[in-house]
Structure 1
Amino acid sequence: MKVLVGLIAAVALGLALALAQNIFAPVAFALFIIAVVWPLQSRLERRISPMLATLSTLVITLVVVSALTYLIIWGLGRVGQWVFANASRFQDMYEQAGIWLEGHGFVLGAVVAEHVNVRSMLRVFQDITSRLQGLTSFLIFTFVYVLLGLLEVPTVESQLQRLSRSTDKRAGLGAFLLAAIADIARKFQKYMVVRTLMSIATGFIVWLFTLAAGLELALAWGALAFALNYIPFIGPFMATLLPTLFALAQLGSWQMALFIFISLNVIQFLTGSYVEPRIAGAALSTSPFLVLFAVFFFAFLWGIAGAFIGVPILIAALTFCAHHPSSRFIADIFSGKMAREGKE
């Protein structure tokens, strides 16, 4: 019965998150941003008034987020212009694919090749770009919450400290919340530092590689690899697939396109699965299965924004579990770390 009730509660929670996307998604992003930028806010408050420090922090954050969003729009715009200018190359490629599929008995493949043409690709680019531009209203709501949240952080902290010093049962709750929230904030900050460093490295390497391989729009590919790397799994996959398709159209060689595809995947694997975990350390170690689930689950609920915020939500949930004795085993199970012999 408990399991059944838990499943029903999980389904109801997921439905509520999906239906109230316009409410919950900005709040989740705002809490994440507040945790990441709070050290900057604290340093500014030592020099200027709290209100001015909050406004300065908000402006800096808005500039960074807007620049990242513009970078994706700019990169996709350059790619879309190239597709339009070289439509004949893609049309020839799709026609040849249809002939080859039909010649090898793949009738459905030929039908797909007939319908997946240059116009459909342009519509995809236009749809993605319009969705990114539609994030404007989402960002407005998010930054309103950020502004109000930054102003309330000292008040909430003082209330939790007072609660932790009380003599009743609520003292444990106050201490638990203070420790868990502080730990979550530290992990969020480290997560963004590591993710930013890896995104810069990935974008730079992809730019150099595509430039050396003779691909056009090398700067756009590097910019997209940098910006999309903030979205686990989905972003690197898109940053790998798009240059491969364009290499096939530009160079006209499936061998070269395959080489580019494999090379870009090796770059993504080395930076994302080898270098990044070693820089992040044990503090951010999480089960890859849960990371993948979180990315696709929240992408299903909230779209592009959910794909980004899914991993931070997972980190916060596991951190809360780790700080409470009754749920610590959940954090241990999904930590992605091997248990040591002799450890209780």
Structure 2
Amino acid sequence: MLPPWYPMTIEMPAVIINSQRLVKTFLFPLLMQLSDRTTQTLMAVIATILIVAALRATQPISMPLAFAFFIAVLVYPLQRWFNRYIPHWLSLVLVLLLLAGVLGLAVGALEISAEIIEPKAPEYLNRLQQMAESAQSWAQARGFPVSQFSSGQNSNQLTQEAIGGIKSLLSALSLFVLVVSLLVLLLLEVNQYKEKTQRAFPSRTSDRLINAVGSMSEKLRRYLFVMTLTSFLTGVLTSILCFILGVDLAFVWGLIAFVLNYIPTLGSIIAVIPPTLVALVFNGVGRGIATLIGLAVLQVAIGNFVDPRLQGKTLQLSPFIALISIVFWGWVWGIPGAILGVPMTVAIILLCQEFDSTRGIAIVLGEVEKSKS
């Protein structure tokens, strides 16, 4: 009696032969008949997949390099202005000192927020505990299962969270050191970029590449500058509105609104939620509704009137593309990738806009200005 797998040993060569015939008689001629445009499209798709895989595999280097690149784009005009009056190395030192000052302001803002939250924390915790106990009693009275946590579990959980916090802090410090190191190297080499590009590529290609990168950098710089300006305006007005309405932690909500406003549309929606919830819990329903309406009107006014006037028609990123950018780059690089998601997508759109063959990608990803050529 033949074993059960015996027929497969007979049919397998036939399957292989038929597959080879299929490739020779159908697939290969089809590939040969593809137009140059289709071939270029397939090659572009393959190259994109390989680039994404490479970025994901080289995350410890490529992600800090992206951070350093965006910072360099922002500060290079300042360094170039310093170079007119002082030596190159001294201008680099001044730029780094200014960046350190900005970082110090950010840390100071976080410290002020912590000092504001600290005396309020016991009151908030007691109120949240009362709400949790009320919800637990309501659920038990209606027969819903309610889980119980022992103090030992809470202690172990706090220990694990403390260890995780220390690891996150060390990781952030190492990332900061690497970003600063790469930034210094980029600023040292940026003046030689044009010369090296002209030597590496033919004259026509090098000119197009230099012009494309220069135009992209200028537009990206404008985009980030306008985003910073509107974010600052949003944060200040959010703090003022919360202070007028008597919502606790007005400065903290303004700081959160400033940070989240860098995420188009989605960040504005998220920034409204925390102060509204605090107003509902601690100031009553009427104050909560007033906070919601006031912050929503503020976000809509800045997003639909102020930002378009400052930004012009250079770039308008849709909420859907912004969300996809955050999710995609978060998958590639983790949390830092989610932070860089929107700027990375904006840079890609602006770079694609500079070439006729890729301008369609720029139009699909974001509404960009029409080419003047």
Partner SS, residue 214 of structure 1: coil
Partners of 2:105 and 2:359 lie apart in 1 by: 39
Partner SS, residue 367 of structure 2: coil
1:105-127, Cα deviation, whole Å (9 max, x unpaired): 9x58x769xxxxx9999x99998
Partner SS, residue 343 of structure 2: helix
Partner SS, residue 252 of structure 2: helix
Residue pairs, 1:190-339, within 5 angstroms = 190-232=222-264, 235-251=267-283, 253-336=284-367
Larger radius of gyration: 2
Structure 1 residues 124 and 181: alpha-carbon distance in aligned structure 2, compared to 1, 3 A threshold: farther
- For 2:220, the equivalent position in structure 1 comes to 188
Partners of 2:304 and 2:207 lie apart in 1 by: 35
* 1:135 and 2:172 are equivalent in the alignment: yes
What is the deviation of 1:161? 4.1
Structure 1 residues 305 and 39: alpha-carbon distance in aligned structure 2, compared to 1, 3 A threshold: same
Partners of 2:57 and 2:200 lie apart in 1 by: 34
Partners of 1:12 and 1:82 lie apart in 2 by: 51
**Unaligned ranges ≥5, structure 2:** 1-30, 32-38, 149-153
- For 1:30, the equivalent position in structure 2 comes to 68
- Range with bigger deviation, 128-137 or 89-98: 128-137
* AA aligned opposite 2:287: M
What is the deviation of 1:240? 2.3
Structure 1 residues 288 and 20: alpha-carbon distance in aligned structure 2, compared to 1, 3 A threshold: same
Between the two structures, name the one with larger relative contact order (CA 8 Å, sep ≥ 6): 1
Could you state the TM-score of these two structures normalised by the residue count of structure 2? Answer: 0.74
Structure 1 residues 265 and 173: alpha-carbon distance in aligned structure 2, compared to 1, 3 A threshold: same
1:46-80, Cα deviation, whole Å (9 max, x unpaired): 11100111111122123213433553465366436
- For 2:193, the equivalent position in structure 1 comes to 156
Specify which of 41, 64, 70 is matched with residue 79 of structure 2. Answer: 41
What is the deviation of 1:196? 1.6
Structure 1 residues 226 and 137: alpha-carbon distance in aligned structure 2, compared to 1, 3 A threshold: same
Identity of aligned residues (%): 30
Cα contact 1:75–1:224 (8 A) shared by 2: no
Partners of 1:80 and 1:193 lie apart in 2 by: 33
What is the deviation of 1:304? 4.2
Question: What is the number of residues matched between the two proteins?
Answer: 329
Structure 1 residues 25 and 45: alpha-carbon distance in aligned structure 2, compared to 1, 3 A threshold: same
Specify which of 119, 130, 134 is matched with residue 92 of structure 1. Answer: 130
* AA aligned opposite 1:37: V
Structure 1 residues 111 and 245: alpha-carbon distance in aligned structure 2, compared to 1, 3 A threshold: farther
Cα contact 1:232–1:307 (8 A) shared by 2: no
* AA aligned opposite 2:63: A
Partners of 1:254 and 1:133 lie apart in 2 by: 42
Cα contact 1:72–1:228 (8 A) shared by 2: no
Residue pairs, 1:87-126, within 5 angstroms = 87-98=125-136, 107=144
Structure 1 residues 189 and 338: alpha-carbon distance in aligned structure 2, compared to 1, 3 A threshold: closer
Structure 1 residues 7 and 55: alpha-carbon distance in aligned structure 2, compared to 1, 3 A threshold: same
- For 1:144, the equivalent position in structure 2 comes to 181
RMSD of the alignment, in Å?
3.9
1:29-55, Cα deviation, whole Å (9 max, x unpaired): 111111111110001011110011111
1:133-152, Cα deviation, whole Å (9 max, x unpaired): 85332121111111011110
Partners of 1:268 and 1:301 lie apart in 2 by: 30
Cα contact 1:157–1:178 (8 A) shared by 2: yes
Structure 1 residues 103 and 20: alpha-carbon distance in aligned structure 2, compared to 1, 3 A threshold: farther
What is the deviation of 1:10? 5.0
Partners of 1:129 and 1:221 lie apart in 2 by: 26
- For 2:28, the equivalent position in structure 1 comes to none
Could you state the TM-score of these two structures normalised by the residue count of structure 1? Answer: 0.79
Partner SS, residue 314 of structure 2: helix
* AA aligned opposite 1:272: G
- For 2:58, the equivalent position in structure 1 comes to 20
Cα contact 2:264–2:317 (8 A) shared by 1: no
* AA aligned opposite 1:222: G
Partners of 1:176 and 1:98 lie apart in 2 by: 66
Structure 1 residues 49 and 322: alpha-carbon distance in aligned structure 2, compared to 1, 3 A threshold: same
Cα contact 1:58–1:146 (8 A) shared by 2: no
**Unaligned ranges ≥5, structure 1:** 113-117, 165-169
Structure 1 residues 146 and 254: alpha-carbon distance in aligned structure 2, compared to 1, 3 A threshold: same
Partners of 2:287 and 2:208 lie apart in 1 by: 56
Partners of 2:48 and 2:147 lie apart in 1 by: 41
Cα contact 2:230–2:307 (8 A) shared by 1: yes
- Range with bigger deviation, 72-81 or 150-159: 72-81
* AA aligned opposite 1:209: L
